[in-house]
């Protein structure tokens, strides 16, 4: 059968050959090559045995193809195609084609059929490129539910020729061809006892021990061994040892990221490799600008797994370049970036701005996990972004069914935490209520409690569900197999019960039993209040002493019977005069000063957090005269006199009726 010519519109490829790969292509008959290879490939080509084949493959510089008996490999009676002679006459040399152009063309294909059709037009292909083609085919055919190649691919003569080329003695393969061939079984299921796989591994081990593998091959080999044999493979340690002796200046950006992935697979050995990691972290600062979006996300993920919190300069620089690539990240890559930024506590206004634009324009098409991670990022970093919150609210209203119960909670909770009602709030919470009515039992108890508590922070009170969450059955589910309920759940239940009393007087359902109520919302690790900023308090205290005349006239950190802790409490008699804080009689009014530091607001804003807004709302409903003293107003004051005048206006304005 005749060989097919190179497509005329393809650029010249250097050293571009398949070792007899395409002899017998496009035949309608099952020739000796087809029959022999098919017996070994089906049902899975990596289980084939290395028996003698009937096709003799020449090495990289071979120009002709022969069958074992010396006859041409074309079907009997079928003339040799004239394209072969046209090839010779035109003197198109595949050696002149750039390898990068080949791989760029290969990666542009979207199906295995296109790849196989493409290589069927080529005369010869070096082993490195042949292995690359095989790798690309397996990459495209990989499916979550089926790790075998389709029958039409296995029976394709071009595909069989590629396999046959690699079946030969692996010692004839170049380093790149060898490790590329080894990458293929990492994509799909492989019989661990396949002779082909064992021979490839043996050849890699042999070259590793001789020290004949280059940096790139060492990196690829290390990652393949981890996938095939696990991170505990002793050979991986030898590879890391050899890589430690190499000059990092000789690593490509791709090699650096591969090295991170290898070390990431062995997090239990991070202490052992920390000195090497420090060198890599410092060197990586110089390659960040050359990383693709995929490599950026992979490097950030590795830094998280390896707990490289000391590498913040690298994280900051990665964040700078992440901003430029946000539109180009896949859903999974963007999720990994957000997870890393959450882990390292990184944020900047440029990233937030780029994320706002991306989410606002593509929110309806983004993966639910990505949307949930975006909301978690905003919630954790207290980022009050109306574009993001509005886009997510609109997405939930339009596509509520695509979010799982946990994702639904992750979407809604930030609205309460950040104290924001979107423009479509009525539609948003109507959708949420419908989901809860139909899928109540699908929500994990603690997730459900956090979700309903978040709704109450923005005055969207879950009245229709309070009876259920205060019931003994739900409380038992909430406790699970633990001997007691965690402190945060108890605090959320208590605040919801207080909300029902103060803001939902029409609620007549079951009450929360006293054993499930906490005494204070201000507790370590489970607080529903933000502790007072001590430096801000000191400034205000000095002003209050000057204003009132003595420290005797106000109390600090006062725990009320309603679980809230008041920063500063001032007692007034019936005539509005200030009483000493030790007096418990003839108290007509109580003033609650909320000394709100930066941590009680959303990041870089004057927007109060949901839990602080709820506290002030409840204190007002409980009869306190609530006076807010925000940090940004105190910072505007330039002298002690101005501070006293400011406090006088706040405490004893014309409408307050107070005197001193």
What is the end-to-end Cα distance of the chain in Å, rounded? 108
Please report the pLDDT score of residue 200 as a whole number: 83
Cα separation of 533 and 473, whole Å? 40
Long-range contacts of 218-222 (CB under 8 A, 24+ apart): 218/242, 218/243, 219/243, 219/255, 219/258, 219/259, 219/262, 220/179, 220/180, 220/182, 220/183, 220/258, 221/179, 221/182, 222/258, 222/259, 222/262
Confidence check: pLDDT of 339 > 80: yes
653 DSSP 8-state letter: -
Cα separation of 269 and 276, whole Å? 12
DSSP codes joined into one string, 99-131:
HHHHHHHHHH--SHHHHHHHHTT-S-B-HHHHH
Confidence check: pLDDT of 483 > 60: yes
Q: From the CA atom positions of the chain, what is the Rg in Å?
A: 35
Q: Which two tokens stand for residue 90?
A: 């035109």
Please report the pLDDT score of residue 201 as a whole number: 87
Cα separation of 347 and 382, whole Å? 10
61 Cβ neighbours under 8 A, 6+ residues apart: none
Please report the pLDDT score of residue 119 as a whole number: 82
Query: Beta strands 589-596 and 625-630: pairing type?
Result: parallel
Please report the pLDDT score of residue 170 as a whole number: 76
Cα separation of 375 and 403, whole Å? 13
The band of 356, judged by pLDDT with boundaries at 50, 70 and 90, is very high
Conformation bin of residue 217: beta by default, left when phi > 0, alpha when psi is -120 to 50: alpha
Please report the pLDDT score of residue 177 as a whole number: 80
440 DSSP 8-state letter: G
The band of 146, judged by pLDDT with boundaries at 50, 70 and 90, is low
Please report the pLDDT score of residue 282 as a whole number: 96
194 Cβ neighbours under 8 A, 6+ residues apart: 46, 47, 48, 185
Average of pLDDT values for 646-658?
Answer: 75
Cα separation of 647 and 644, whole Å? 5
Cα separation of 657 and 88, whole Å? 105
- Average confidence score pLDDT of the chain: 82
- Which residues on neighbouring strands pair with residue 536, listed in sequence order? none
List, for residues 412-470, the tens digit of each pLDDT value: 999 999 999 999 999 999 999 999 999 999 999 999 999 999 999 999 999 999 999 99
Confidence check: pLDDT of 592 > 50: yes
Confidence check: pLDDT of 29 > 90: no
608 DSSP 8-state letter: B
Contact 458, 420 (CB under 8 A): yes
Please report the pLDDT score of residue 591 as a whole number: 95
Lowest mean pLDDT among 41-55, 256-270, 504-518: 41-55
- Which residues on neighbouring strands pair with residue 125, listed in sequence order? 18
Q: Which two tokens stand for residue 212?
A: 């004949």
Please report the pLDDT score of residue 153 as a whole number: 79
List, for residues 177-191, the tens digit of each pLDDT value: 888 778 777 766 667
Average of pLDDT values for 13-17?
Answer: 37
Average of pLDDT values for 503-512?
Answer: 92
Cα separation of 4 and 24, whole Å? 10
Confidence check: pLDDT of 351 > 90: yes
Q: Which of 29-38, 79-88, 516-525, 588-597 has the highest mean pLDDT?
A: 588-597
Please report the pLDDT score of residue 99 as a whole number: 76
Please report the pLDDT score of residue 100 as a whole number: 79
Query: Beta strands 565-572 and 589-596: pairing type?
Result: antiparallel
The band of 147, judged by pLDDT with boundaries at 50, 70 and 90, is low
Each domain of the chain, given as residue ranges in start order, spans: 528-653
Contact 256, 287 (CB under 8 A): yes
Please report the pLDDT score of residue 189 as a whole number: 62
Within 13 Å of residue 307, how many CA atoms lie on the same side as its CB?
8
What percentage of the chain reaches a pLDDT higher than 70?
Answer: 81
pLDDT higher for 582 or 177?
582
78 DSSP 8-state letter: P
């Amino acid at each position: 059968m005749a060989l097919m010519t190179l497509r005329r519109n393809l650029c010249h490829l250097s050293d571009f050959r398949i070792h007899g790969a395409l002899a017998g292509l496009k035949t309608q008959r099952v020739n000796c090559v087809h029959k022999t290879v098919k017996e070994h490939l089906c049902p899975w080509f990596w289980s084939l045995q290395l028996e003698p084949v009937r096709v003799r493959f020449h090495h990289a510089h071979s120009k002709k193809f022969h069958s074992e008996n010396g006859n041409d490999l074309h079907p009997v009676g079928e003339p040799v195609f004239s394209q072969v002679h046209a090839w010779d006459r035109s003197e198109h040399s595949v050696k002149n084609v750039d390898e990068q152009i080949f791989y760029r063309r290969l990666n542009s294909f979207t199906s295995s059929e296109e790849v196989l059709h493409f290589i069927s037009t080529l005369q010869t292909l070096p082993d490195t490129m042949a292995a690359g083609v095989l790798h690309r085919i397996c990459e495209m055919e990989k499916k979550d539910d089926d790790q075998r190649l389709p029958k039409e691919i296995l029976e394709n003569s071009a595909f069989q020729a590629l396999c046959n080329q690699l079946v030969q003695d692996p010692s004839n393969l170049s380093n790149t061809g060898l490790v590329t061939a080894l990458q293929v079984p990492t994509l799909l299921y492989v019989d661990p006892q396949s002779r082909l796989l064992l021979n490839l591994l043996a050849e890699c081990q042999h070259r590793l021990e001789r020290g004949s593998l280059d940096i790139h091959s060492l990196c690829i080999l290390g990652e393949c061994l981890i996938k095939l044999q696990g991170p505990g493979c002793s050979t991986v340690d030898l590879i890391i040892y050899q890589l430690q002796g190499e000059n990092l200046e000789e690593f490509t950006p791709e090699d650096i990221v591969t090295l991170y992935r290898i070390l990431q697979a062995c997090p239990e050995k991070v202490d052992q490799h920390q000195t090497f990691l420090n060198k890599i972290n410092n060197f990586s600062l110089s390659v960040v600008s050359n990383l693709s979006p995929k490599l950026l996300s992979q490097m950030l993920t590795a830094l998280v797994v390896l707990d490289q919190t000391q590498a913040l300069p690298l994280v900051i620089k990665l964040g700078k370049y992440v901003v430029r690539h946000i539109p180009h990240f896949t859903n999974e890559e963007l999720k990994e970036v957000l997870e890393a930024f959450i882990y390292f506590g990184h944020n900047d206004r440029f990233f937030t701005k780029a994320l706002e634009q991306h989410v606002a324009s593509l929110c309806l098409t983004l993966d639910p996990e990505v949307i949930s991670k975006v909301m978690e990022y905003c919630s954790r970093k207290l980022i009050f972004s109306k574009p993001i919150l509005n886009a997510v609210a609109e997405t939930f209203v339009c596509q509520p069914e695509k979010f799982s119960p946990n994702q639904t909670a992750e979407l809604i909770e930030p609205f309460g935490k950040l104290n924001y009602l979107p423009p479509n709030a009525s539609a948003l919470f109507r959708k949420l209520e419908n989901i809860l009515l139909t899928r109540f039992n699908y929500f994990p108890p603690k997730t459900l409690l956090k979700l309903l508590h978040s709704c109450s922070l923005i005055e969207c009170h879950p009245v229709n569900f309070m009876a259920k969450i205060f019931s003994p059955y739900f409380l038992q589910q909430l406790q699970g197999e633990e001997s007691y309920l965690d402190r945060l759940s108890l605090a959320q239940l208590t605040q919801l019960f207080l909300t029902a009393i103060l803001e939902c007087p029409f609620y007549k359902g079951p009450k929360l039993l006293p054993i499930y109520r906490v005494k204070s919302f201000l507790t370590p690790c489970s607080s529903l209040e933000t502790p007072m900023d001590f430096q801000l308090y000191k400034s205000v205290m000095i002003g209050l002493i000057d204003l009132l005349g003595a420290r005797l006239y106000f109390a600090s950190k006062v725990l009320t019977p309603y679980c809230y802790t008041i920063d500063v409490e001032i007692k007034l008699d019936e005539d509005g005069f200030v009483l000493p804080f030790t007096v418990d009689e003839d108290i007509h009014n109580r003033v609650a000063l909320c000394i709100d530091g930066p941590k009680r607001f959303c990041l870089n804003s004057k927007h109060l957090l949901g839990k602080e807004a709820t506290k002030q709302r409840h204190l007002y409903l409980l009869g306190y005269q609530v006076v807010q003293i925000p940090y940004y107003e105190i910072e505007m004051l330039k002298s002690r006199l101005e501070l006293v005048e400011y406090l006088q206006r706040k405490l004893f304005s014309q409408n307050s009726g107070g005197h001193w």
